[in-house]
Amino acid sequence: MLTLRFHGAFGNCAVGPAERFQINGDRLHAMPSGLEIAHYQGGVWHYGEDVFSSIVLATPVVFRLEHEGENATLGPYTEGRIVDGAIREGQEGGQIAKFDHDRRLWVCALRKFEATVIWIDPQLA
């Protein structure tokens, strides 16, 4: 199970637990329900009436990128962070993928891969 922690200038909040989360373009969903949790617009995550600058996954995670039947798995990472339109490893870690607003794709330079969907899964033992 995973819990997301939204961080912003005016406070923080937790969402979850959920089995996994899905980022589809600029939309974040809890799974398996498919409930839309937040959307990314203007450099911030909109969750309900609030806005947040980052999302932290404080447990080990794996990112699974998908696009047109192709996929790539990245991780496990001890912690993940989504900030400034980029998915990063940990607090100061390297960039895993960056959101391209114009094309509504996540671009992963590590694997030269573009993804329309990113699954966030817990690392399994």
pLDDT of residue 125: 55
pLDDT in tens, 82-110: 998 999 987 777 898 999 999 999 998 77
Higher pLDDT, 110 or 14: 14
pLDDT of residue 93: 75
Q: Residue 28 and residue 92: Cα distance in Å, rounded? A: 23
pTM: 0.90
Higher pLDDT, 58 or 14: 14
Q: Residue 17 and residue 3: Cα distance in Å, rounded? A: 5
Confidence of residue 124 (pLDDT cuts 50, 70, 90): confident
